[in-house]
Chain A
Amino acid sequence: GQSLEQPSEVTAVEGAIVQINCTYQTSGFYGLSWYQQHDGGAPTFLSYNALDGLEETGRFSSFLSRSDSYGYLLLQELQMKDSASYFCAVRDMDSNYQLIWGAGTKLIIKP
């Protein structure tokens, strides 16, 4: 079957660095996306990895290892506004290129 695993909750301190891991099992992996969702709001796109390696966008970076079926989202210089849920999602060729979603990681940031 298809599944994604990510921690349910992560706590970090303002100004620190945090890593949110995602492992996946899908039959037709095409790429790994990360989305951010604040409470009661809409998910917004953060990053996408199709090839192995690190993609950097400002304070956020995303990493993919296809051989390990593993990726992570790295958030640096944490700010209180980064408190949100973060979802990894795999685009699956065998499901008409639909997104298969993880359950989300709630990031709690303490002052």
Chain B
Amino acid sequence: DGGITQSPKYLFRKEGQNVTLSCEQNLNHDAMYWYRQDPGQGLRLIYYSQIVNDFQKGDIAEGYSVSREKKESFPLTVTSAQKNPTAFYLCASRAGKGGHTEAFFGQGTRLTVV
């Protein structure tokens, strides 16, 4: 079955530690996205990539980094520079770059700083 997979589902980070969230899709989608969702809020775009080896900053990129070495994979690293990383992180993908196509989401990773 085609889909988009995020791991882990829950992640705990100590102060000053970098952590990496995994996102893999087998939908052959060109574009992939990382969003952050805080309680009672909408989705805010962190980074997106429309093609392998290229990515763009979203609205809240500070303290995060990404890579897109393979079409299927778009990992997100939450660095120690992100001062308030506790949130629900959602990865999405869609076919094409422009126009409208439906976005498919992974089940999310809930990150907590301990």
* Chain A interface, DSSP helix/strand/loop, else mixed: strand
Most buried by A among B48, B99, B100, B102: B100
A91 near B100 with CB under 8 A, answer: yes
Cβ–Cβ < 8 Å partners of B33 in chain A: 98
A87 near B56 with CB under 8 A, answer: no
Cβ–Cβ < 8 Å partners of B84 in chain A: none
A98 near B48 with CB under 8 A, answer: yes
Query: What separation, in Å, do the CA atoms of A5 and B42 have in the docked complex?
Result: 11
Instruction: Kindly count the residue-residue contacts between A and B in the assembled complex, taking CB atoms under 8 Å apart.
Output: 57
Q: Range of interface residues on chain B?
A: 20 to 34
> Pick the contact of B106 from A30, A42, A91, A99 — CB < 8 Å?
A42
Quick check: is A7 within 8 A (CB to CB) of the other chain? no
Q: Which of A58-66, A71-79, A101-109 contacts B (4 or more CB under 8 A)?
A: A101-109
Cβ–Cβ < 8 Å partners of A102 in chain B: 42
Q: Mark A residues whose CB is within 8 Å of B.
A: 4, 8, 30-31, 33, 35, 40-45, 48, 50, 87, 89, 91, 96-99, 101-104, 106
4 residue pairs, one from A and one from B, having the closest CB atoms? A101-B42, A42-B105, A103-B42, A45-B102
